[in-house]
Amino acid sequence: MNTAAFERVKLARDSQRPTGLDYIRNIFDGFIELHGDRRFGDDPAIVGGIAMLGNLPVTVIAIEKGHTAKERSFCNFGAPNPEGYRKALRLMKQAEKFGRPVICFVDTSGAYCGVGAEKRGQGQAIAENLMEMSTLCVPIISVLIGEGGSGGALALAVADRVWMLQNSVYSVISPEGCASILWKNAAKAETAASCLKLTAEDAKSLGVIEKILSEKEIGKSEFYDRIRALLAKEIEELTEEPELVGNRYDRFRSIGRTAVVKE
Amino acid sequence: MALLNFLKPKNQLEEGGRTAAPVQRDDGEPEKNCPNCHKDIPLSRLWANDLVCPCGHHFRMKARQRIRMIADKGSFRELFSGVKSDNPLNFPGYKDKVETVRAASGETEAVVCGTAMIGKQKCCLFVMEPYFMMGSMGSAVGEKITLLFEYAVKYRLPVVGFTVSGGARMQEGLLSLMQMAKTSAAVKRHSDAGLLYIAVLTDPTTGGVTASFAMEADIILAEPNATVGFAGARVIEQTTKKALPDGFQKAEFVLEHGFVDSIAPRGGQKKLLAELLKMHDGRFCL
């Protein structure tokens, strides 16, 4: 049981898994990348732009981990800095202005832990995304494709629909971090992984996500075709939803309702 | 993230009161050693000065004591005190931990919410409790904060909030993480209703609380020398393998980088809050 959850963590971290850019290139047509947060710089850990989903223009935002050592180092191993989250928010606001749905692919061990990131307000950048995404007037779908590491992942996942790949994980803290804090022993990460309930099945039963995506033929064209079709259908339904923003509020409002006792 | 704040060197945690027990002086009066000036200060003197050392060091303060300091006498009405954490993930040891903390702190959860008058200005008030799992945010904390902002929208009241938190409570896993989104959405509704929210960040405000409602206020104040940040300092040091700059993640450092409006020493907080509330009471709207 313990191993099962931790095996998922290892699978989710596997550098051979498709990355954000693989999803963008294979699901959408004519992706045009748009850079920069207009405030400080451009964060290669987050890739964003406009693309066509079938015949519908959409805004696509992905956390990119890279495959090769060079790519992984270039995009900081998928650990975004504040300017990455601010770029994402800029593109989402742009999407709202032009009535485009937003699709996010999330894959990060967490927002970057660095002196520069703190100086530039990592916490504030994430907080602003959470706040602004909660009322964005266009449909948002977030797909967790690998690691869903805490606030750094949530900053792109305040969405109308949140889906997880079968072997992706979503957690408030890494199993290693949890084990070293609670049991002063990072080697107990396997136990922590099991306790944290971080698998796609766990997230679904906790009501945190709507859908688990099968990894059958992962990386092949059939795999991407299937996700494209699911996204297109869901966007169509969300576009017709008059209470989109209200429903999004209720979605997050009701998660974990059973986790508290009211006397 | 957040929780990693607990990985800070032990000497940074000791002033938190978890370990810094007062020592008995020869003449019988208990004293507390100040981690800043290293002098032994009589407890009575600290209590008389809102737990601020003559050297200026701000000791951690229990939520109820803070409410007594900030709210007009007898004006505080507690709300949502019955909202408590369950153990949604059946996390090992969590239930016992919460029961122990409840008994020791006298609080049911890591935040106290209600309405109060501050300098005759009515507001909603939340104060986080450092002595309850270092103010960590689980489902109950998120729910109480959300209920308070919803209440404030309903009755068109400003919100004043004192934060202190190691971040999201890992024993409630993903459900704790979701509180960041839930509280942020509630703050946004309050903000969109044109209402004022003032946050006062106290030591330490980190992780998931920094990355949600602590940083979402219209006006953000911080107590002197309070640790304010997202990632834990030691984690950053381990990740980057570089020494941290002096004063890193201290309130003054965060002010210098533009993420808080002002440093607010405890002695002047009530007056400052009252003035700010008064300037936003609606009479001066164009």
Residues of chain B contacting A262 with CB distance shorter than 8 Å: 82-84
Residues A152/B234, Cβ–Cβ less than 8 Å: no
Element housing A83 (H / E):
helix A82-97
Interface probe for B, chosen from A135, A150, A162 (most Cβ of B below 10 Å), is A150
CATH T-level topology, domain A2-259? 2-enoyl-CoA Hydratase; Chain A, domain 1 (3.90.226)
ipTM of the prediction: 0.97
Residues of chain A contacting B206 with CB distance shorter than 8 Å: 123
CB pair distance less than 8 Å for A121 and B139: no
| HSE-CB for B145 with a 13 A CA cutoff | 36
Please indicate if any CB of chain A lies within 8 Å of the CB of B77. no
Residues 6+ apart with CB under 8 A from B159: B123, B124, B125, B126, B148, B149, B152, B190, B195, B196, B197, B198
Please indicate if any CB of chain A lies within 8 Å of the CB of B207. yes
Quote the domain boundaries for residue B205: 60-279
Total of domains in chain B: 1
Of B180, B211, B236, nearest to A115 by CB-CB distance is B236
Going from N- to C-terminal start, the domains of chain A cover: 2-259
Residue B260 lies in a domain: yes
Domain of residue B217, CATH code: 3.90.226.10
Query: Looking at chain A, how many residues does it have?
Result: 263
Residues 6+ apart with CB under 8 A from B144: B80, B83, B109, B111, B113, B126
Pair of tokens at residue A200: 């796609």
Write phi, then psi, for B91 (nearest 5 degrees).
-70, 130
Torsion of Cα atoms, B164 then B167 then B170 then B172, to 10°: 70
Pair of tokens at residue A227: 């996700």
CB pair distance less than 8 Å for B239 and A203: no
The residue type of A162 is V
Residues A145/A168, Cβ–Cβ less than 8 Å: yes
Write phi, then psi, for A147 (nearest 5 degrees).
-95, 130
Please indicate if any CB of chain B lies within 8 Å of the CB of A250. no
Q: What is the pLDDT along chain B (286 residues), one digit of tens a residue?
A: 444 444 443 333 333 444 455 666 666 778 999 999 999 999 999 999 999 999 999 999 999 999 999 999 999 999 999 999 889 999 999 999 999 999 999 999 999 999 999 999 999 999 999 999 999 999 999 999 999 999 999 999 999 999 999 999 999 999 999 999 999 999 999 999 999 999 999 999 999 999 999 999 999 999 999 999 999 898 898 888 889 999 999 999 999 999 999 999 999 999 999 999 999 987 666 6
The rounded distance, in Å, linking the Cα atoms of A104 and A123 is 20
